[in-house]
Chain A
């Protein structure tokens, strides 16, 4: 861990101004008739990254991926891979491979044949093909299934065949379309880490498309959040979660309590925001760049709020009173929905660190006080 910390520039090449991007997407636009699917997107992706395009359905993430693979032509802008302009190069001549959401395994071929298919197109010798197929089967741990047909495999095994089939070509760039979407929850978690291991082992650059923020968070070195064909924020999972740049990002990633307010005190190192929606003043211990009196939104994550029965001594800032309306016990955490005095409902999550009896636990219709640390809220202007 210490090594990784010291080696920041190697692991986070986007922080190094001298690093050369491996994939350059410049002002790429895609229109289908009147509909703009991808709108003027520019991205720099570095070698060895796992870059996640995250967004809801119809946000243009899959279209962007299909343009990288060559299945769709760009309407405007250009894509460079390792310095080479990809315009006009058909999918079968690109050094890019894709893992399809449905896996798209050839049903009439065995696992072995499926994986060898891509190598056969490169006109390699039989022995070379065999040894590479064997090697990749070992990496994805499917050696004993080589002679099976796809329908004789489980979902997780099929997913690994699809991965092996794409990786065996040693692509410069691997595109993954919702790679874990078809797996059940337990298998997903396991596979996520396996995917990262394989990626580190082979050093291939991954671009992953997903609508699942959890998948994006665990896999990605960086996430690009997309909305309506545009990239709204690029950052590491931590940056995206802790410092969302817009209301959309704050709302889309995780759950959040969002309040509209007005900037009443604006100093370089702290701000105060008066919010009628909250019914109080929010004090934030870092500065923001907005004029006094500007309308801003404050986002507070449910896990960063404490819930207590006792009234705090100082109620003026970062504190509201409310009544518990709903409690959802999820096992690891409990989610409380608290109706605060202004009429809004706030969501608070509480880790279940101890087993509490019903007398100790906060229950329905109790009056509670919600407080948070001045470092917790995020203020967004748009």
Chain B
């Protein structure tokens, strides 16, 4: 301790000179120590994401919520009546109109858009799972070098714009598109298949676009599996198929759930794919939302659709995931 900063005990024992003493007592604050030791400092770091979510999620959400309770004005856009205001006589007037929500429940167009969205999202998720599971399994089982190449290939499409990739599918699927031309020239079909603007095109688009979101969580789960568990199952008399369904699959459920949520949630609200590839006679919720906002200029109804989507989907999923996580955490320890 001949050179450099004196240790704390030296400092306290008064073995260092008065100049050092002054420096330590009144010198510049040491921020690193301040943050590490200080309760407020720790809170500050944690607060950043919360502030972000508050400003860019909660506040906009509340604005949308507020608009959904407003009355339709001929202009169809703000300003709307405030939700609460004091009248001249001092009374508090609260304007909460449920008419938009009421409309959602009774208008068949809305109900069918809802059901259609959930149906498409559900089957897309199932298809994604069926396609992604073998892929994720193969990647998890590959040698490390191959594995990196395969993962890169999964992520590669993200380097092109999502919109462009969906447009590219039009070129593949349309009546005089690549697929039809190839099949015709090979003589497999006699007349072009009608693939554009069908449910099929929507499923192709969604499964193609969201497949990485299913593969990656599945892969990261499967990659951690202990191979000796499968050997143990075999040793106890279970063939490969039984081993898969009683060991690998149950243990991969956290990955299955994570992947399914990552596909299902955005698929319900998917706008681009059904608009470009999908049926013209059947809207999905997002298409409806956009129509209400931009074509009908009915902001309250559009907001009500948005809020209903959030409540009906995200809240149950969050609750489900909360319980699921708790159970799985306990089981995997």
Q: List the interface of chain A (C-beta within 8 A of B).
A: 69, 71, 90-93, 96-98, 100, 102, 104-108, 117-118, 121-122, 149, 151, 165-166, 169
Pick the residue among B229, B236, B250, B330 that contacts A97 (CB under 8 A).
Answer: B236
Please list the 6 inter-chain residue pairs (A to B) with the smallest Cβ-Cβ separation, ordered nearest first: A121-B237, A118-B236, A104-B232, A104-B228, A151-B333, A91-B234
Q: Which of B146-154, B161-169, B170-178, B239-247 is found at the contact surface with chain A? A: B239-247
* Shortest Cβ gap from B127 to chain A (Å): 26
Residues of chain A within 8 A (CB-CB) of B231 are 69, 71, 91, 98, 100, 104
* Shortest Cβ gap from A227 to chain B (Å): 26
* Shortest Cβ gap from B327 to chain A (Å): 10
Chain B: interface residue count, which band?
A: 20 to 34
Given contacts A106-B247, A107-B332, A149-B331, contact A91 B235 (CB under 8 A): yes
Residues of chain A within 8 A (CB-CB) of B332 are 107, 151
Residue B226, interface by CB 8 Å: yes
**Main DSSP-derived SS at the B contact region:** helix
A367 to B172, CA, bound (A): 95
* Shortest Cβ gap from A115 to chain B (Å): 10
The 18 sampled A-B contact pairs (Cβ below 8 Å) are A90-B239, A91-B231, A92-B234, A98-B231, A102-B226, A104-B228, A105-B232, A106-B232, A107-B251, A107-B331, A108-B250, A108-B251, A108-B331, A117-B246, A121-B236, A121-B242, A149-B331, A151-B330
Indicate if the CB atoms of B331 and A169 lie closer than 8 Å: no
A91 to B235, CA, bound (A): 5
Q: List the interface of chain B (C-beta within 8 A of A).
A: 226, 228-229, 231-239, 242, 246-247, 250-251, 330-333
Pick the residue among A98, A102, A106, A149 that contacts B235 (CB under 8 A).
Answer: A98
7 additional A-B residue pairs with CB within 8 Å, beyond A90-B239, A100-B232, A106-B233: A91-B231, A92-B236, A96-B235, A108-B331, A122-B237, A151-B332, A166-B235
Residues of chain A within 8 A (CB-CB) of B237 are 92-93, 118, 121-122, 169
Residues of chain B within 8 A (CB-CB) of A118 are 236-237
* Shortest Cβ gap from A357 to chain B (Å): 41
Chain A residue, CB-CB nearest to B327: A108
* Shortest Cβ gap from B256 to chain A (Å): 13
* Shortest Cβ gap from B167 to chain A (Å): 44
Chain A residue, CB-CB nearest to B243: A92
A118 to B234, CA, bound (A): 9
Indicate if the CB atoms of A92 and B239 lie closer than 8 Å: yes
A106 to B234, CA, bound (A): 12
A97 to B235, CA, bound (A): 6
Q: Which residue, of B236, B238, B247, has the highest number of chain A Cβ atoms within 10 A?
A: B236
Q: Which residue, of A90, A92, A102, has the highest number of chain B Cβ atoms within 10 A?
A: A92
Residues of chain B within 8 A (CB-CB) of A105 are 232
Residues of chain A within 8 A (CB-CB) of B236 are 92, 97, 117-118, 121, 165-166, 169
Indicate if the CB atoms of A90 and B247 lie closer than 8 Å: no
Residues of chain B within 8 A (CB-CB) of A102 are 226, 228
Indicate if the CB atoms of B226 and A104 lie closer than 8 Å: yes
* Shortest Cβ gap from A101 to chain B (Å): 8
Chain A residue, CB-CB nearest to B332: A107
Chain B residue, CB-CB nearest to A71: B231
Residues of chain A within 8 A (CB-CB) of B238 are 92, 117, 121
Residues of chain A within 8 A (CB-CB) of B239 are 90, 92
A117 to B250, CA, bound (A): 14
* Shortest Cβ gap from B13 to chain A (Å): 40
* Shortest Cβ gap from A152 to chain B (Å): 9
Residues of chain B within 8 A (CB-CB) of A107 are 251, 331-333
Residues of chain A within 8 A (CB-CB) of B226 are 102, 104
Residues of chain B within 8 A (CB-CB) of A69 are 231, 235
* Shortest Cβ gap from B243 to chain A (Å): 8
Chain A residue, CB-CB nearest to B230: A104
A105 to B236, CA, bound (A): 11
Indicate if the CB atoms of B228 and A100 lie closer than 8 Å: yes
* Shortest Cβ gap from B309 to chain A (Å): 34
Given contacts A104-B228, A106-B247, A107-B251, contact A151 B331 (CB under 8 A): yes
Residues of chain B within 8 A (CB-CB) of A166 are 235-236
Given contacts A149-B331, A151-B333, contact A104 B246 (CB under 8 A): no
A166 to B233, CA, bound (A): 11
A97 to B236, CA, bound (A): 7
A108 to B236, CA, bound (A): 16
A166 to B236, CA, bound (A): 7
* Shortest Cβ gap from B331 to chain A (Å): 5
A102 to B225, CA, bound (A): 13
* Shortest Cβ gap from A65 to chain B (Å): 11
* Shortest Cβ gap from B253 to chain A (Å): 8
Residues of chain A within 8 A (CB-CB) of B246 are 117
A108 to B237, CA, bound (A): 18
Chain B residue, CB-CB nearest to A175: B235
* Shortest Cβ gap from A335 to chain B (Å): 39
A105 to B239, CA, bound (A): 17
Residues of chain A within 8 A (CB-CB) of B229 are 104, 106
